[in-house]
Structure 1
Amino acid sequence: MKKFILVFLLLSSISEALAQVVKGKIIDATTLGPIENAKVLEVGSGVFTFSGASGNFEIETSTTNIILEVSALGYVTRQIKANPNSVKSISLIPSRENLSEVVITGALISKTLQNTPASISVLSTKDLQKIDNSNLAQVFNAVPGVYVNQGALNTTKLNIRGIGARSQYSTNRIQAYFNGIPLTSGEGELTIDDFDVEAISKIEVIKGPTSSMYGAGLGGVINMYAGNAEIDKAQIGISSQVGSFGTYKKTVSASHGTKSTSLFATFNDLESDGYRDNGSYKRQSGLINANVFTENGNKLSFLGNFTKLKAFIPSSLNENDYVNDPEKAAFTWGKSRGYESYERGLFGVSYIHHFSTDFANQTSLFVNFRDAYEPRPFNILKEKRVATGARTKFNLQLKLFKLDSELSFGAEYYKEWYSMQTFENLYQDFEDQGSVLGAVLSNNEQDRNYANFFGQLNLELSKKLNLETGFNINTTSYGLEDLYVADEIDQSGDYRFKTTFSPRMGLSYEIVPGRNIYTAISHGFSTPTVEETLTPEGQINTDLKPETGINYEIGFKGNWLDNRLYTEIALYSIQIDNLLVAQRISEDQYVGINAGKTNHNGIETTIKYNVQLTPKIRIQPYFNAAFNYFEFEEFVNREEDFSGNKLPGVPKSTFNSGFEIGYANNFTLFTNLLAVGEIMLNDANSLSTDNYQVIDIKARYDFKVFNNFEANISAGINNVLDEKYASSVLPNAVGFGGAAPRYYYPGNPRNYFVGVGLNYVF
């Protein structure tokens, strides 16, 4: 008996000695964020475990060399060889084959696209490769419900579901973030074309009022994410692209990734003469994205981006010039050689801390600046903007009424200092010299502030039914100091908008696995700019109210044919009150009024299909469409009643269709057709543009030169059929001094580009 006990203890001790633990962490290869509920399986033994909220896992093994199979919803399954204590981080690539399983990281609580009760479009790295990489704005036309007005590389206006369509020269009423750092100014203006295609890994577009999550953003939110390094890989790359109109771009990038660090950096130089006179463009930009991880799932991140731009402005044309001489610049802009130039930077630090497997916090601090000089025919503008702020968010997983739930809550504060001076432009007194600085015309300083307090609760009411509810409380104020004493008008003053409460509620129901219906109600708002609050006499109009809107939406998201076919349809109705209208009272001055109500009713659809024709050949056709029924419900402006008219500046419909053909992971052909319907040019609906269709084609070939050298060659044609169209319009344009109104920005004719890239892996 003693011998039996001795043998048993000996075998037990040997077994215990052989049993070892492999520890690691599962992260997203794109965002470097932790992946929860990833399955980690020891191949052969059948032993498995799941990662926690921080992405960490532990699995026992009795061998020294094992193979782990790691899988997670929305990611490509991966197998790796591992030894005990040798694996710390395993990165998974988001799946492109099953779009519905892509995880939405920009929301307060991360969820798969399938289970999110909202209309969200995700643009992956592959989607960004489809376009001419000198023009980021192109990619947004692939999002149903989004329309891009682009007069030039530096003149881009986006509107989402018709909101922002009345903007004159820039994107407004849309919130945007880059790695969680606000890009939208304190006045709600956004410049999206400062960022380079090759610096971005993913874009998420949340459509419709989203103030419950992000504050002032009536149209929606754009979340962009910087590129990252791959784990256990160091590389450096160079690329170059040349194209029509003297376009030339060169890029240098480098990255280095380990199990606990990631560093990605890129610099690019883009130049173009432009299709039109006075249209030359030069932009230099650089980006650094660095991350440090700890074993318990915490992450410290740093982001820096700097842009230097000088871009001449051909401006809009009247109908005669648009039809007969589209290459010319507007006369006064050509004579003054008008342009814009600025230096812009943003810097941010973010820290994610896991207090436990169920409780985490993410806090970000940021600062950004913009120093600009813009000679226009009517004056010369100098402006400086410095902004700083912080955003903190807590996420807690808990049982509420015995139901699985997750709570998110936090706050965001934004402070902006803005100074603006205008000067006379004496270009008419100095023939052929372009713009010349003259006397001071105005000198203002502004302080802009806003604070958001937000919360969201997700409840799993059943295995098929999920409830998402949330709110945001916003306070916005500004102060204006008029430093110009040569006139008798003092515009100084302070103004605070009433506290705005924005709720949201959504339900998602799984009909069968892979097919969900959802419904949502959300509130949104956008505040007037400082300029819009000024009366013609230069005083602050304290009666001006923010635009507010309520979005009612119902939709379906579903997979078919063994997940090869993905379909999505959304029906929505947005009612906007206190419509802000910018009335033009001089060539460079607008006055805002609350002029009525608009109805934005629409249907959006997405269809994507993956076909594997042979083991080496795949084809992925897609179709996106938006049908827009946007009109004034009540709108009386200057004693003219426009009620019932269509909203100007937004197309009646948009279709985006094409396919991607791939061969053996080396050759890819992209085609895209953009069809745009009629666009009204004024509130009276007396003028409109014609329908137009633009076809783009691009091909890319990737290959290895040597063991560590990777190369690629790409070429493409934009506007293959040489369509003549207006790529941007100026709603309600007004002619001054007897001149015809300038509504049109002509689109580029057929143009070409060729690129080559070389990458060395250490």
Structure 2
Amino acid sequence: MKNTYFIVVLLFSFYNYAQIDSIPLEEVIINDISIPQPQKYAAEAVAIISAEEISRGNALELSPILNRVPGVFMQSGTLNTNRITIRGIGARNLFGTASIRAYYGDIPLTDGNGESTIEDLELGSLSRIEIHKGPSSSSYGVGLGGAILLQPEYTPISNAGGSLSSTFGSYGFQRILAKASIGKEKSNFNVLYSNNHSNGYRDNNEYDRNTITLTSDFDLGEKNSFSILGSYIALKAGIPSSLSSDDFNETPRQAAFTWGRAQSFEDVDYGILGLTWKYNSDQKASLITSVFSSFKNNYEPRPFNILEEKSNSFGIRSRILGKHTLAKKELNWTLGGELFVDEYNGKTFDNLYEDFAPGTGSVSGDLLSNLDEQRYYYNFFTEANYNFTKKLRLNLGIHLNQTSFEIKDQFFSDSEDNSGSFDFNLILSPKLGINYELNHNFILFGNIAHGFSTPTTSETLLPDGVFNPDIKPEIGWNYEIGTRYQLINNKLFGSISLYTLRVRDLLVSRRTIEDNFFAINAGKTIHNGIEAEINYSIITSTSYQLNSYINTSIYQYTFDEFVDLDNDFSGNDLTGVPSDVINLGVDLIAEKGVYGNINFQTVGKIPANDANAVFSDSYTLLHGKIGFKNNIGDHFSYNLYIGANNILDTRYTAQLQINARGFGGNAPRYFYPGLPFNIYGGININYRL
């Protein structure tokens, strides 16, 4: 209640000051794959992470970047074990990121299962990250938590050159990045290669990733343009898994016993390719069509079996953008659709590692299962922004989705065929948003929006592999109000949002035997929260900028109704979400000379199980980086830097395995230990023609 009072007082203070000073808000354009518009006119909470902010750390770890954004929280047990949540949505997903829509340019990163793997992409290939919080956009599809839009970097006109970066750090961290680009009047080309390696803090924790990314634009005349976006990733990483409380406190560097004994790992080859054609018929209408494809092969030995999976996807996304006048007022609209087909084969084999001497690792045995799956969906969407008055803007949208699964069992266990198909009902998701410009400094916004998240294929299966005909998508309604402000000669700016998101048909993962899960719809949740962001420019000159910031996320997420078997968890805190997150920081920015940043973060305690009987401890982290930039002649420049993470050497839980259970007399393994104090340093050399 005290925190709420503080925010309300702050809100009215800014309003009173805004009556005195009148400076227009900065024109930052968002929604590039929907209806492009200035950020200040958005009817929902939107966060922008620039390329400069991405490079504040070691440019490998995504979690420190996302965790500075109010409302967003990324848990990262290892570089290849992550979970991203937005406003608590996705926190109950056991492995990976779900219920959040992700795009790389116009290419969906969210697969037919509704899961998104964002952290494997090369951060150095991005020009920015745009985050839409809550189910507030009709144009992005399945994603109750919101959407994360990764914008690839293209080469500007008359810009050509290359760069080479090398970084080394604690626990065998090595990062090599090479980039070459050329930009002409009617075409550009950009190619990037990177290798990221770490020996890991824990046993069985080595990580190695190679990435090649290319982007290109072609101007085909007055009305047509064409772009190419592609990326290939080769990743191999060990899996140390989670630890019990005693092991976490006493021997955090060890791997979980069975996972270490089996020398578990994942070996992934992943590629995406997208082609986009833009046609501008006139100043009032344009057509944008993208065709995309991807493949993913994964070999993953685990103690309980060995997983071998292959997937190929194909899709097309097309939309019309229009700009017209209605009743002498400007109307911007889009109408489009997206079709996605994902073909998947998953096999499991018996893991015979226990039959061999320690140190042998995993050994493949008999085939246990062989399933072919086809997962597909189509989306139709329309959205419009209407300038009702000079100050009042309305946003209306409707989204229609149909999702289906088909499974063919290629291996009949006990003569039982688990083949089948499942079609979810058509889901219609409307939204209504408003944006009111109180004055040149103070903008109010609000929205009411419907969203949903479909179950993954594994969640539609019962323990015997048969489809569960009663499984349903999670459905939610979001109600939000907020403000954006920019004051004191543009030096003070930020935003405040208050929201409540109410979710029904909550998917609950129930564990049968070790690492075997199935899902049921077992509850409702209420997500109430406050997000506040304050940025202040202390010094602004032609040579230097000294900026400070503070942002906070205050969460009150609870189970409204949740009965699982004989357990009533109604009223408990939502599992896997911290009570609050606060960030404080300072950035010294310079074109040449010394630059640096420091970030202090506090994270509240997190419930580890639905009964709220186990929590991770609250913790504080301090990260910092300092560097020096300069030119060498007319064509070369260099950037020397050194940084440190977890400067206070805090022992903390980097990720939770929620609702873990102990088997064979062993304690439950809830905790992934975070990295202790670690440092890195490197050099970047740039050449420009």
State TM-score, norm by structure 2. 0.95
What SS does the aligned partner of 1:320 have?
helix
- Residue 706 (structure 1) shift: 2.5
Show the counterpart of 1:734: 661
1:368-388 residue CA offsets vs partner (Å, 9 max, x unmatched): 010110000110000001000
- Residue 126 (structure 1) shift: 1.0
Show the counterpart of 1:364: 290
My pick for the range that moved more, 309-318 or 256-265, is: 256-265
In the alignment, is the contact (CA less than 8 A) between 2:114 and 2:456 conserved in 1?
A: yes
Show the counterpart of 1:229: 155
Matches of 1:106 and 1:598, distance apart in 2: 32
User: Are residues 1:449 and 2:350 paired?
Assistant: no
What SS does the aligned partner of 2:205 have?
coil
In the alignment, is the contact (CA less than 8 A) between 2:63 and 2:75 conserved in 1?
A: no
In the alignment, is the contact (CA less than 8 A) between 1:465 and 1:507 conserved in 2?
A: yes
Matches of 2:132 and 2:31, distance apart in 1: 11
What SS does the aligned partner of 1:248 have?
strand
Matches of 1:695 and 1:192, distance apart in 2: 24
User: Are residues 1:185 and 2:111 paired?
Assistant: yes
Q: Structure 2 matches for 1:307-706, cutoff 5 A? A: 307-431=233-357, 432-612=359-539, 616-663=543-590, 665-706=592-633
- Residue 613 (structure 1) shift: 5.9
Matches of 1:720 and 1:233, distance apart in 2: 39
Matches of 1:105 and 1:324, distance apart in 2: 48
Matches of 1:692 and 1:301, distance apart in 2: 45
In the alignment, is the contact (CA less than 8 A) between 2:592 and 2:630 conserved in 1?
A: no
- Residue 702 (structure 1) shift: 1.5
User: Are residues 1:711 and 2:638 paired?
Assistant: yes
Q: Which amino acid aligns with 2:356?
A: F
1:488-518 residue CA offsets vs partner (Å, 9 max, x unmatched): 3321101100000000110000000131101
Q: Which amino acid aligns with 1:599?
A: I
Structure 1 residues 587, 211: CA separation in 2 closer, same or farther (over 3 Å shift)?
A: farther
Q: Structure 2 matches for 1:37-436, cutoff 5 A? A: 100-106=26-32, 108-210=34-136, 212-296=138-222, 298-431=224-357, 432-436=359-363
Matches of 2:589 and 2:331, distance apart in 1: 42
- Residue 106 (structure 1) shift: 3.8
In the alignment, is the contact (CA less than 8 A) between 2:25 and 2:441 conserved in 1?
A: no
In the alignment, is the contact (CA less than 8 A) between 2:305 and 2:350 conserved in 1?
A: yes
My pick for the range that moved more, 131-140 or 392-401, is: 131-140
In the alignment, is the contact (CA less than 8 A) between 1:211 and 1:525 conserved in 2?
A: no
Q: Which amino acid aligns with 1:660?
A: D
Show the counterpart of 1:74: none
- Residue 487 (structure 1) shift: 2.0
State TM-score, norm by structure 1. 0.86
In the alignment, is the contact (CA less than 8 A) between 2:89 and 2:99 conserved in 1?
A: yes
Matches of 2:513 and 2:506, distance apart in 1: 21
Structure 1 residues 274, 99: CA separation in 2 closer, same or farther (over 3 Å shift)?
A: farther
What SS does the aligned partner of 2:512 have?
strand
Show the counterpart of 2:7: none
- Residue 486 (structure 1) shift: 4.0
- Residue 616 (structure 1) shift: 3.5
Q: Which amino acid aligns with 1:601?
A: N
- Residue 663 (structure 1) shift: 4.5
Q: Which amino acid aligns with 1:292?
A: F
Q: Which amino acid aligns with 2:203?
A: D
1:690-713 residue CA offsets vs partner (Å, 9 max, x unmatched): 110100001122211232111111
- Residue 401 (structure 1) shift: 2.8
Q: How many residues align?
A: 666
Q: Which amino acid aligns with 2:507?
A: L
Q: Which amino acid aligns with 2:668?
A: P
Structure 1 residues 273, 585: CA separation in 2 closer, same or farther (over 3 Å shift)?
A: same
Percent of residue pairs identical: 38
Structure 1 residues 749, 468: CA separation in 2 closer, same or farther (over 3 Å shift)?
A: same
In the alignment, is the contact (CA less than 8 A) between 1:255 and 1:265 conserved in 2?
A: yes
Structure 1 residues 562, 297: CA separation in 2 closer, same or farther (over 3 Å shift)?
A: farther
Show the counterpart of 2:10: none
In the alignment, is the contact (CA less than 8 A) between 1:212 and 1:523 conserved in 2?
A: no
Q: Which amino acid aligns with 1:345?
A: G
- Residue 610 (structure 1) shift: 1.4
Matches of 2:412 and 2:480, distance apart in 1: 52
Matches of 2:425 and 2:484, distance apart in 1: 38
Matches of 1:623 and 1:358, distance apart in 2: 41
What SS does the aligned partner of 1:127 have?
helix
- Residue 485 (structure 1) shift: 2.1
Matches of 2:117 and 2:110, distance apart in 1: 8
1:587-613 residue CA offsets vs partner (Å, 9 max, x unmatched): 232111000100000000111111226
In the alignment, is the contact (CA less than 8 A) between 1:489 and 1:538 conserved in 2?
A: no
What SS does the aligned partner of 1:101 have?
coil
Matches of 2:509 and 2:595, distance apart in 1: 46
In the alignment, is the contact (CA less than 8 A) between 2:373 and 2:406 conserved in 1?
A: yes
In the alignment, is the contact (CA less than 8 A) between 2:238 and 2:263 conserved in 1?
A: yes
Residue segments in structure 1 that go unaligned for 5+ positions in a row: 1-96
Matches of 1:356 and 1:701, distance apart in 2: 48
Matches of 1:211 and 1:415, distance apart in 2: 22
My pick for the range that moved more, 584-593 or 249-258, is: 584-593
Q: Which amino acid aligns with 1:717?
A: A
Matches of 1:411 and 1:240, distance apart in 2: 42
What SS does the aligned partner of 2:261 have?
helix
Matches of 1:253 and 1:617, distance apart in 2: 27
Q: Which amino acid aligns with 1:220?
A: G
Q: Which amino acid aligns with 2:437?
A: E
Structure 1 residues 318, 717: CA separation in 2 closer, same or farther (over 3 Å shift)?
A: same
- Residue 533 (structure 1) shift: 1.2
What SS does the aligned partner of 1:139 have?
helix
What SS does the aligned partner of 2:616 have?
coil
What SS does the aligned partner of 1:480 have?
strand
In the alignment, is the contact (CA less than 8 A) between 1:100 and 1:566 conserved in 2?
A: no
What SS does the aligned partner of 1:322 have?
helix
In the alignment, is the contact (CA less than 8 A) between 1:569 and 1:603 conserved in 2?
A: yes
In the alignment, is the contact (CA less than 8 A) between 1:106 and 1:204 conserved in 2?
A: no
Residue segments in structure 2 that go unaligned for 5+ positions in a row: 1-22
Matches of 2:671 and 2:25, distance apart in 1: 37
What SS does the aligned partner of 1:519 have?
strand
CA RMSD of aligned residues (A): 1.4
